[in-house]
Amino acid sequence: MEIAPLPPLRVAILGAGSWGTALAAAASRRHATRLWARDAAQAADMAATHENARYLPGIPLPQALSISSDLDATLRSLQDEGAQRLIVLGVPVAGLTALCGELSRRLPALGLQDTPIVWTCKGFEADTARLPHEIMREALPGATGGALSGPSFAREVAQGLPVALTVASDSAALRAATTAAFHGAALRVYASTDLVGVEVGGALKNVIAVACGICEGLGLGTNARAALITRGLAEMTRFGVALGAQAETFAGLTGLGDLVLTATGELSRNRRVGLEIGAGRKLADILASGITAEGVRCARAALERARAIGVELPITDAVCAVLFDGVAPMTAVSALLARDARYESAAGLPDDPPDGRTH
Protein backbone atom coordinates (compact mmCIF):
# COMPACT_ATOMS: atom_id res chain seq x y z
CA MET A 1 0.00 0.00 0.00
CA GLU A 2 1.36 3.40 -0.94
CA ILE A 3 1.65 6.05 1.76
CA ALA A 4 0.38 9.47 0.69
CA PRO A 5 3.12 12.10 0.79
CA LEU A 6 2.84 14.89 3.33
CA PRO A 7 1.52 18.19 1.96
CA PRO A 8 4.16 20.85 1.28
CA LEU A 9 4.88 23.33 4.05
CA ARG A 10 5.20 27.09 3.62
CA VAL A 11 6.94 29.06 6.38
CA ALA A 12 6.95 32.80 7.04
CA ILE A 13 9.43 34.03 9.64
CA LEU A 14 8.81 37.56 10.89
CA GLY A 15 11.89 39.23 12.31
CA ALA A 16 15.39 39.17 10.84
CA GLY A 17 17.45 39.32 13.99
CA SER A 18 19.98 36.60 14.71
CA TRP A 19 17.48 33.98 15.84
CA GLY A 20 14.84 34.63 13.18
CA THR A 21 17.53 34.47 10.52
CA ALA A 22 19.00 31.25 11.91
CA LEU A 23 15.61 29.54 11.92
CA ALA A 24 14.84 30.82 8.44
CA ALA A 25 18.09 29.32 7.20
CA ALA A 26 17.20 25.97 8.77
CA ALA A 27 13.64 25.89 7.41
CA SER A 28 14.60 27.02 3.91
CA ARG A 29 16.83 24.00 3.38
CA ARG A 30 13.67 21.86 3.02
CA HIS A 31 10.64 24.15 2.74
CA ALA A 32 9.50 27.27 0.91
CA THR A 33 10.49 29.93 3.43
CA ARG A 34 10.30 33.71 3.42
CA LEU A 35 12.04 35.91 6.01
CA TRP A 36 10.60 39.35 6.75
CA ALA A 37 12.81 42.22 7.92
CA ARG A 38 11.17 45.45 9.05
CA ASP A 39 14.21 47.45 7.87
CA ALA A 40 14.00 47.73 4.07
CA ALA A 41 17.72 48.48 3.71
CA GLN A 42 18.63 45.42 5.75
CA ALA A 43 16.29 43.22 3.71
CA ALA A 44 17.73 44.49 0.44
CA ASP A 45 21.28 43.88 1.62
CA MET A 46 20.46 40.37 2.83
CA ALA A 47 18.68 39.51 -0.41
CA ALA A 48 21.67 40.71 -2.42
CA THR A 49 24.43 39.10 -0.35
CA HIS A 50 22.62 36.17 1.32
CA GLU A 51 24.22 37.14 4.58
CA ASN A 52 22.87 38.91 7.66
CA ALA A 53 25.86 41.18 8.13
CA ARG A 54 24.23 42.98 11.04
CA TYR A 55 23.48 39.99 13.26
CA LEU A 56 25.25 36.93 11.81
CA PRO A 57 28.26 38.25 9.91
CA GLY A 58 30.28 35.74 7.95
CA ILE A 59 27.58 33.05 7.81
CA PRO A 60 26.16 32.40 4.30
CA LEU A 61 22.41 31.92 4.03
CA PRO A 62 20.81 29.32 1.72
CA GLN A 63 20.11 30.60 -1.78
CA ALA A 64 16.59 29.19 -1.48
CA LEU A 65 15.70 31.60 1.33
CA SER A 66 13.48 34.47 0.18
CA ILE A 67 13.91 37.78 2.03
CA SER A 68 11.55 40.76 1.99
CA SER A 69 10.60 43.93 3.88
CA ASP A 70 7.01 43.72 2.58
CA LEU A 71 4.92 42.15 5.34
CA ASP A 72 1.83 41.62 3.18
CA ALA A 73 3.89 39.94 0.45
CA THR A 74 5.55 37.74 3.05
CA LEU A 75 2.18 36.64 4.41
CA ARG A 76 0.77 36.12 0.90
CA SER A 77 3.59 33.66 0.26
CA LEU A 78 1.67 31.31 2.56
CA GLN A 79 -1.42 31.31 0.31
CA ASP A 80 -1.38 27.84 -1.18
CA GLU A 81 -4.52 25.76 -0.74
CA GLY A 82 -2.62 22.49 -0.85
CA ALA A 83 0.07 23.45 1.64
CA GLN A 84 0.49 23.49 5.38
CA ARG A 85 1.34 26.92 6.78
CA LEU A 86 3.38 28.20 9.70
CA ILE A 87 4.15 31.71 10.93
CA VAL A 88 7.18 32.14 13.19
CA LEU A 89 7.52 35.34 15.24
CA GLY A 90 11.23 36.03 15.65
CA VAL A 91 10.91 39.34 17.50
CA PRO A 92 11.78 40.05 21.16
CA VAL A 93 9.07 40.29 23.81
CA ALA A 94 9.23 44.09 23.57
CA GLY A 95 8.11 43.91 19.92
CA LEU A 96 5.49 41.18 20.26
CA THR A 97 2.45 43.34 21.03
CA ALA A 98 3.00 45.61 18.02
CA LEU A 99 3.60 42.73 15.61
CA CYS A 100 0.56 40.81 16.85
CA GLY A 101 -1.50 43.96 16.33
CA GLU A 102 -0.38 44.07 12.70
CA LEU A 103 -1.22 40.38 12.23
CA SER A 104 -4.66 40.82 13.77
CA ARG A 105 -5.49 43.26 10.97
CA ARG A 106 -3.76 41.50 8.09
CA LEU A 107 -4.36 37.77 8.56
CA PRO A 108 -8.18 37.82 8.22
CA ALA A 109 -7.96 40.03 5.14
CA LEU A 110 -5.64 37.46 3.54
CA GLY A 111 -7.66 34.44 4.62
CA LEU A 112 -4.83 33.29 6.89
CA GLN A 113 -6.50 33.66 10.28
CA ASP A 114 -6.26 29.89 10.95
CA THR A 115 -2.49 29.75 10.35
CA PRO A 116 -0.58 28.37 13.36
CA ILE A 117 1.73 30.93 14.96
CA VAL A 118 4.82 30.02 16.99
CA TRP A 119 6.99 32.55 18.81
CA THR A 120 10.62 32.38 19.89
CA CYS A 121 10.91 35.28 22.37
CA LYS A 122 11.76 34.68 26.02
CA GLY A 123 10.83 36.92 28.91
CA PHE A 124 8.10 38.87 30.68
CA GLU A 125 6.79 42.03 29.07
CA ALA A 126 8.41 44.92 30.95
CA ASP A 127 5.32 47.10 31.46
CA THR A 128 2.71 44.41 32.09
CA ALA A 129 4.67 41.36 33.37
CA ARG A 130 2.80 39.22 30.82
CA LEU A 131 4.28 36.09 29.30
CA PRO A 132 4.27 35.82 25.49
CA HIS A 133 1.24 33.53 25.34
CA GLU A 134 -0.74 36.06 27.38
CA ILE A 135 0.19 38.82 24.95
CA MET A 136 -0.84 36.59 22.06
CA ARG A 137 -4.13 35.61 23.66
CA GLU A 138 -5.16 39.24 24.02
CA ALA A 139 -3.88 40.49 20.66
CA LEU A 140 -4.95 37.49 18.56
CA PRO A 141 -7.88 35.83 20.36
CA GLY A 142 -8.66 32.44 18.94
CA ALA A 143 -5.29 32.04 17.20
CA THR A 144 -3.46 28.71 17.41
CA GLY A 145 -0.19 29.50 19.16
CA GLY A 146 2.86 28.00 20.78
CA ALA A 147 6.45 28.64 21.83
CA LEU A 148 9.67 27.33 20.31
CA SER A 149 12.43 27.43 22.90
CA GLY A 150 15.48 25.63 24.24
CA PRO A 151 19.24 25.89 24.75
CA SER A 152 20.40 27.54 21.55
CA PHE A 153 22.77 30.21 20.36
CA ALA A 154 21.60 31.55 17.00
CA ARG A 155 25.07 31.64 15.50
CA GLU A 156 25.61 27.92 16.06
CA VAL A 157 22.17 27.08 14.62
CA ALA A 158 22.92 29.18 11.54
CA GLN A 159 26.19 27.29 11.14
CA GLY A 160 24.33 23.98 11.16
CA LEU A 161 25.76 22.77 14.46
CA PRO A 162 23.69 20.31 16.56
CA VAL A 163 20.87 21.73 18.69
CA ALA A 164 17.72 20.45 20.42
CA LEU A 165 14.62 22.60 20.89
CA THR A 166 11.15 22.20 22.35
CA VAL A 167 7.87 23.32 20.81
CA ALA A 168 5.15 23.82 23.42
CA SER A 169 1.45 24.14 22.61
CA ASP A 170 -1.86 22.50 23.39
CA SER A 171 -2.38 22.24 19.62
CA ALA A 172 -1.16 18.99 18.06
CA ALA A 173 -1.39 20.64 14.63
CA LEU A 174 0.96 23.45 15.64
CA ARG A 175 3.41 21.03 17.24
CA ALA A 176 3.38 18.93 14.07
CA ALA A 177 3.87 21.92 11.75
CA THR A 178 6.75 23.30 13.82
CA THR A 179 8.42 19.91 13.99
CA ALA A 180 8.02 19.48 10.22
CA ALA A 181 9.52 22.92 9.63
CA PHE A 182 12.68 22.49 11.68
CA HIS A 183 13.31 18.90 12.74
CA GLY A 184 16.02 17.21 10.72
CA ALA A 185 19.77 16.93 10.20
CA ALA A 186 21.49 18.58 13.18
CA LEU A 187 18.33 20.22 14.57
CA ARG A 188 16.01 18.15 16.77
CA VAL A 189 12.58 19.30 17.94
CA TYR A 190 10.83 17.79 20.95
CA ALA A 191 7.17 18.43 21.81
CA SER A 192 5.50 19.59 25.03
CA THR A 193 2.06 20.71 26.12
CA ASP A 194 3.44 22.79 29.03
CA LEU A 195 3.46 26.24 27.46
CA VAL A 196 3.70 28.10 30.78
CA GLY A 197 6.63 25.98 31.98
CA VAL A 198 8.55 26.46 28.75
CA GLU A 199 8.00 30.22 28.83
CA VAL A 200 8.90 30.67 32.51
CA GLY A 201 12.07 28.64 32.04
CA GLY A 202 13.06 30.73 29.03
CA ALA A 203 12.46 33.96 30.93
CA LEU A 204 14.02 33.22 34.32
CA LYS A 205 17.13 31.48 32.99
CA ASN A 206 18.23 34.82 31.52
CA VAL A 207 18.00 36.51 34.92
CA ILE A 208 19.91 33.68 36.62
CA ALA A 209 22.55 33.92 33.88
CA VAL A 210 23.07 37.60 34.74
CA ALA A 211 23.59 36.53 38.36
CA CYS A 212 26.12 33.89 37.30
CA GLY A 213 27.98 36.47 35.22
CA ILE A 214 28.14 38.84 38.20
CA CYS A 215 29.48 36.00 40.34
CA GLU A 216 32.13 35.23 37.74
CA GLY A 217 33.02 38.89 37.33
CA LEU A 218 33.57 39.15 41.07
CA GLY A 219 35.95 36.18 40.93
CA LEU A 220 33.88 34.05 43.32
CA GLY A 221 34.75 30.75 41.64
CA THR A 222 32.99 27.86 39.98
CA ASN A 223 31.56 26.46 43.22
CA ALA A 224 29.52 29.64 43.59
CA ARG A 225 28.37 29.45 39.97
CA ALA A 226 27.23 25.84 40.45
CA ALA A 227 25.26 26.88 43.52
CA LEU A 228 23.60 29.75 41.64
CA ILE A 229 22.64 27.49 38.73
CA THR A 230 21.19 24.85 41.06
CA ARG A 231 19.30 27.26 43.30
CA GLY A 232 18.30 29.26 40.24
CA LEU A 233 16.69 26.14 38.83
CA ALA A 234 14.77 25.73 42.09
CA GLU A 235 13.66 29.37 41.82
CA MET A 236 12.49 28.91 38.23
CA THR A 237 10.59 25.75 39.14
CA ARG A 238 8.91 27.27 42.19
CA PHE A 239 7.72 30.28 40.19
CA GLY A 240 6.61 28.23 37.21
CA VAL A 241 4.59 25.76 39.28
CA ALA A 242 2.86 28.67 41.01
CA LEU A 243 1.82 29.94 37.57
CA GLY A 244 0.48 26.53 36.57
CA ALA A 245 3.51 24.84 35.00
CA GLN A 246 4.58 21.23 35.39
CA ALA A 247 7.64 20.79 37.64
CA GLU A 248 9.23 18.19 35.34
CA THR A 249 9.45 20.71 32.50
CA PHE A 250 12.23 22.51 34.36
CA ALA A 251 14.44 19.41 34.29
CA GLY A 252 14.33 19.45 30.49
CA LEU A 253 15.68 21.44 27.56
CA THR A 254 13.84 24.68 28.29
CA GLY A 255 14.68 24.63 32.00
CA LEU A 256 17.97 23.09 33.06
CA GLY A 257 19.30 22.86 29.51
CA ASP A 258 18.75 26.50 28.63
CA LEU A 259 19.90 27.65 32.06
CA VAL A 260 23.24 25.84 31.85
CA LEU A 261 23.92 27.13 28.34
CA THR A 262 23.04 30.74 29.12
CA ALA A 263 24.83 30.80 32.46
CA THR A 264 28.09 29.36 31.14
CA GLY A 265 28.28 29.89 27.37
CA GLU A 266 30.72 32.34 25.86
CA LEU A 267 28.06 33.59 23.42
CA SER A 268 25.58 34.43 26.20
CA ARG A 269 24.71 38.13 26.28
CA ASN A 270 23.07 37.80 29.69
CA ARG A 271 26.20 36.27 31.16
CA ARG A 272 28.26 39.01 29.48
CA VAL A 273 26.21 41.76 31.12
CA GLY A 274 26.73 40.10 34.50
CA LEU A 275 30.46 39.79 33.89
CA GLU A 276 30.71 43.49 33.13
CA ILE A 277 28.65 44.40 36.21
CA GLY A 278 30.81 42.19 38.39
CA ALA A 279 33.93 43.84 36.97
CA GLY A 280 32.64 47.25 38.09
CA ARG A 281 30.99 48.73 34.98
CA LYS A 282 27.67 50.58 35.19
CA LEU A 283 24.60 49.06 33.54
CA ALA A 284 23.94 52.21 31.48
CA ASP A 285 27.45 52.08 30.04
CA ILE A 286 27.12 48.37 29.23
CA LEU A 287 23.82 48.84 27.41
CA ALA A 288 25.15 51.92 25.61
CA SER A 289 27.95 49.77 24.18
CA GLY A 290 25.37 47.77 22.23
CA ILE A 291 24.95 44.69 24.43
CA THR A 292 21.30 43.72 24.82
CA ALA A 293 20.07 41.06 27.22
CA GLU A 294 16.53 39.86 27.86
CA GLY A 295 17.41 39.12 31.48
CA VAL A 296 17.87 42.85 32.09
CA ARG A 297 14.63 43.72 30.30
CA CYS A 298 12.43 41.27 32.18
CA ALA A 299 13.98 40.90 35.65
CA ARG A 300 11.92 43.58 37.34
CA ALA A 301 8.67 42.43 35.70
CA ALA A 302 9.31 38.83 36.77
CA LEU A 303 9.98 39.92 40.35
CA GLU A 304 6.82 42.05 40.47
CA ARG A 305 4.68 39.20 39.18
CA ALA A 306 6.21 36.75 41.64
CA ARG A 307 5.56 39.09 44.54
CA ALA A 308 1.96 39.52 43.41
CA ILE A 309 1.37 35.78 43.86
CA GLY A 310 3.49 35.40 46.99
CA VAL A 311 6.49 33.57 45.50
CA GLU A 312 10.03 34.30 46.70
CA LEU A 313 12.70 34.82 44.02
CA PRO A 314 15.83 35.64 46.05
CA ILE A 315 18.30 35.48 43.16
CA THR A 316 16.08 37.56 40.89
CA ASP A 317 15.57 40.01 43.77
CA ALA A 318 19.35 40.32 44.18
CA VAL A 319 19.86 40.87 40.45
CA CYS A 320 17.24 43.64 40.44
CA ALA A 321 18.87 45.28 43.46
CA VAL A 322 22.19 45.42 41.62
CA LEU A 323 20.83 46.45 38.21
CA PHE A 324 18.26 49.02 39.25
CA ASP A 325 18.66 49.99 42.91
CA GLY A 326 22.36 50.81 43.10
CA VAL A 327 23.25 47.93 45.43
CA ALA A 328 26.90 46.89 45.12
CA PRO A 329 27.27 43.38 43.62
CA MET A 330 29.22 42.05 46.62
CA THR A 331 26.59 43.43 48.99
CA ALA A 332 23.87 41.56 47.10
CA VAL A 333 25.92 38.35 47.23
CA SER A 334 26.43 38.78 50.96
CA ALA A 335 22.67 39.19 51.43
CA LEU A 336 22.07 35.92 49.59
CA LEU A 337 24.65 34.13 51.73
CA ALA A 338 23.08 35.52 54.91
CA ARG A 339 19.71 33.90 54.24
CA ASP A 340 18.53 31.38 56.85
CA ALA A 341 19.44 27.72 56.45
CA ARG A 342 16.69 25.61 54.95
CA TYR A 343 15.98 22.19 53.48
CA GLU A 344 16.93 21.79 49.84
CA SER A 345 13.64 20.13 48.88
CA ALA A 346 10.16 20.74 50.23
CA ALA A 347 9.21 17.06 49.82
CA GLY A 348 8.88 14.94 52.96
CA LEU A 349 10.45 17.39 55.42
CA PRO A 350 10.57 16.70 59.16
CA ASP A 351 9.02 19.28 61.46
CA ASP A 352 12.30 20.62 62.87
CA PRO A 353 14.09 23.42 60.98
CA PRO A 354 17.52 22.46 59.53
CA ASP A 355 19.48 24.79 61.86
CA GLY A 356 17.79 23.48 65.00
CA ARG A 357 16.06 26.76 65.82
CA THR A 358 12.31 26.87 66.43
CA HIS A 359 11.49 30.03 64.40
Binding site as annotated, residues: 15-20, 38, 55, 122, 150, 152, 154, 205, 258, 268-270, 294
CA distance 167 to 189: 7
The string of DSSP letters for 47-81 reads HHHSB-TTTSTT-BPPTT-EEES-HHHHHHTT--T
Helix axes 195-217, 329-337, angle to 10 degrees: 110
Which phi-psi region, left, alpha or beta, contains residue 292 (left: φ > 0; alpha: ψ -120 to 50)?
beta
The string of DSSP letters for 252-306 reads SIIIIIHHHHHHH-TT-HHHHHHHHHHTT--HHHHHHTT---HHHHHHHHHHHHH
Contact 238, 310 (CB under 8 A): no
Radius of gyration (C-alpha) of the chain in whole angstroms: 21
Tally of CB atoms within 10 A around 282: 11
Beta-bridged to residue 184, according to DSSP, are: 187
Beta-bridged to residue 13, according to DSSP, are: 35, 88
Which residues belong to the annotated binding site for NADPH? Answer: 18-19, 38, 55, 122, 154, 269, 294
Which residues belong to the annotated binding site for NAD(+)? Answer: 15-20, 154, 269
Active-site positions read 205
Which residues belong to the annotated binding site for substrate? Answer: 122, 269-270
Which residues belong to the annotated binding site for sn-glycerol 3-phosphate? Answer: 122, 150, 152, 205, 258, 268-270
Using the Cα atoms of residue 166, residue 169, residue 174 and residue 176 in order, give the sign of their dihedral: positive
Which phi-psi region, left, alpha or beta, contains residue 331 (left: φ > 0; alpha: ψ -120 to 50)?
alpha
